[in-house]
Structure 1
């Protein structure tokens, strides 16, 4: 029998919006992080509008029911993990977009995919730069909630750099508008930025106003392979010391081989590391920059350096890098990291991860947005082997501790979620944790928004 509270919710909304079928609920219990501690919700609400979201939050406040906001479910930190007896509030059906080419802005509902926003902008000769590797499957709402990054962010910035305004539903159902289609706005506190990256613990984002820029210029691509990891990190520092590339990505031997198994591109299986770099500067500057990057790789000891101006050829290597996580996942279950360090510490991080993998006797594939020091160690384990799984979790924690010790962060773009919150105090300190709790308590005094995430 359906819970009477859920019957009340159905009465407020619609039985097509409020889902209670157990088979469907099962698909909403976890995001891509596959948190093993996921609970079973009372219902899933597939909101159609801001009014739907506000109604859910008023109902949840009245009945003291926890609410977990969810976008496309592509999150990698357990930020959208369901809790027992709660509601999963999905924004997947909120998909409207309006592009204004005069102001170079787009007003977007949260369910639209990143790739769809890019396509809509491109129809007007414009571009939305943030490009997570999962851009074809991740939603703008999720991108805003985690402050997602991506491959080109070394030059163009991350999600927060393109958010001008938000519509947010607070825990008690109050709807607020923050910012708007203004390129400059210093009125009041920077509340828009407060909600970007807040992972659904402060409010539910129901609309985003995005800044767009002119279409990306043609790019040239440099691909280099290295026999030693240290040579690759030396090349990264040499490149970033000289210029800001449009892309600078790193793949280690394990990830290269996983991608080659899946895509059969002819990648060098013996290489310890591969870099994929791009310049999209205009005209002769692009040629100059690719020359600088190629020389930096050669002088660092690259085994092979390849330069191409062919956009399709260059995109093939970018696609290989984007496919690295799914490719590695084919070899076993994954614990996905997202640690970042200041660039001078990148070599110490990569080499330290290698030592942790050896000590724990687990495979750790490393890919990275190398130009900004954001690495994604992928810890591979067999879930049927309890001892290996335990060693994988030990490695997971040790990698975060290593990143913190190097002046880094436990997450550069995926969010803290539920899987990393135990290490957050070690990074930010007790005073910042207390300040975070004060903000959370002020906006959500009943603690019903995404409980268990971040704090």
Structure 2
């Protein structure tokens, strides 16, 4: 508290900001994301940024008065990385939502952090281009959040995650200084790679206020196939066989039976009646249909039913089934979404392990996977009033991590650590790596005011 005014330090930041709110409803809204985590208290207020100057000024004030700041975009994070509590001020960037420039010759876009992922693709499509990272939440997630978590998505099977598609960033540091990382060229190795360091840092090193994104030519053609299997183990073996056959589909998504049932119930579809698991594959480019034929031959020994999409409308409906998974589960209760990764040849083992965890902990687990890179999203669904940070749900989350670790995998593939996964961080990183990372964070943020308690 300030001895002269008896006001919290955050009052100076909120009072000096042109666009700020301490209204109860807004504080509730910005305190949570889509992770299911509910913080124990509400943040002191929210500052709405609409320009780089807004962010610079806010961080200068935060640094001066030692105010913890939580950056926030669309609020679609799944690890409580943008959740906020008492004593903190949320800096909301969703109002910085302009596509500043698209260069169809150099195949790049310059955007503000609040631009939605799908909006970038819609703009790029008018030039025959596309932006490759496409999370399932593409219609509602922002580029700033994608950068913060190094988000992936369905197309990452062939085109990589966010880090492979961000050429340069403009970043406001915790003390209000502005720095540019990366460059506008495809190649460049001058100095340390601060661009890569920022991507996936979960808003703990700086606040992204502008991003130069790499676009790619839209595929000349795309072939889509849906395959159904007697159970998820058979589907996982088929996915591993595709990888072993050295095929490179642009999309390879797997859904287990319980998730199919949830989607059917929410959307009126009939996927579960066709099998106990579902594998969606797309191949693209000039050889899309030739590669599709080889892919079908590879998975036929495992599948009970295979369908080729006859047209773009059918293909879009199949893609929608995968994107509808999380919204469909949210109708059943509070959802905690896991994000483990394993070697691709261990997919069948990890699904078997998840079924065992569900039985032993008494939790409901629904699983989908980016099968081409071994990134699974086991989703725990509890009753709306139940906690995901204690009891069976917390036990199951820990068991998932230990399962991935035993199989040579990782705690998180693309959602980040946030608050929810810090308990298991040391086990994966080890003491030396964690010590180095804390030291790096202190270089950028010696006061510890930017997204405190998150990531590491």
The TM tier, using the shorter chain, reads over 0.9
Provide the alpha-carbon RMSD of the alignment.
1.8
* Maintained 8 Å contact 2:37/2:388: no
CA distance in 2, matches of 1:265, 1:272: 15
Please name the residue that 1:408 is paired with: 409
Q: Cα offset for 1:7?
A: 5.5
Structure 1 residues 150 and 19, CA gap change in structure 2 (3 angstroms):
same
Structure 1 residues 4 and 382, CA gap change in structure 2 (3 angstroms):
closer
CA deviation vs aligned residue, 1:263-314 (integer Å, no higher than 9, x gap): 12221336221101111131xx2222111221222112x1111112411101
Please name the residue that 1:191 is paired with: 194
Please name the residue that 1:248 is paired with: 252
Where does 1:36-435 land on structure 2 (aligned, <5 Å)?
Answer: 36-97=38-99, 98-242=101-245, 243-269=247-273, 271-282=275-286, 285-300=287-302, 302-384=303-385, 390-435=391-436
CA deviation vs aligned residue, 1:63-121 (integer Å, no higher than 9, x gap): 11100011100000000010311110111000121111121111110000001111111
* Maintained 8 Å contact 1:362/1:388: no
Q: Secondary structure at the match of 1:289?
A: helix
CA distance in 1, matches of 2:267, 2:14: 47
Q: Secondary structure at the match of 1:205?
A: strand
CA distance in 2, matches of 1:385, 1:19: 30
Which piece of structure 1 moves more, 131-140 or 169-178? 169-178
Structure 1 residues 389 and 8, CA gap change in structure 2 (3 angstroms):
closer
Q: Secondary structure at the match of 2:341?
A: coil
Unaligned runs of 5+ in 1: none
CA distance in 2, matches of 1:448, 1:358: 42
Q: Cα offset for 1:9?
A: 3.2
* Maintained 8 Å contact 2:108/2:213: yes
CA distance in 1, matches of 2:417, 2:388: 26
CA deviation vs aligned residue, 1:356-408 (integer Å, no higher than 9, x gap): 00111221001111111100001111244679971122111100111112111
Q: Secondary structure at the match of 1:299?
A: coil
* Maintained 8 Å contact 2:36/2:388: no
CA deviation vs aligned residue, 1:203-244 (integer Å, no higher than 9, x gap): 111110111111233211111111132211111111112201
CA distance in 2, matches of 1:217, 1:325: 30
Structure 1 residues 221 and 38, CA gap change in structure 2 (3 angstroms):
farther
CA distance in 2, matches of 1:25, 1:352: 40
* Maintained 8 Å contact 1:54/1:175: yes
CA distance in 1, matches of 2:387, 2:63: 40
CA distance in 1, matches of 2:178, 2:131: 26
Given the alignment, which residue of 9, 33, 36 partners 2:13?
Answer: 9
CA distance in 2, matches of 1:132, 1:110: 16
Which piece of structure 1 moves more, 194-203 or 121-130? 121-130
CA deviation vs aligned residue, 1:11-41 (integer Å, no higher than 9, x gap): 6431xx1111112111101111132235322
* Maintained 8 Å contact 1:218/1:311: no
Q: Secondary structure at the match of 2:272?
A: coil
* Maintained 8 Å contact 1:77/1:420: yes
* Maintained 8 Å contact 1:29/1:38: no
Dislocated runs of 4+, deviation >3 Å: 1-13, 383-389
CA distance in 1, matches of 2:373, 2:137: 18
Q: Cα offset for 1:10?
A: 5.0
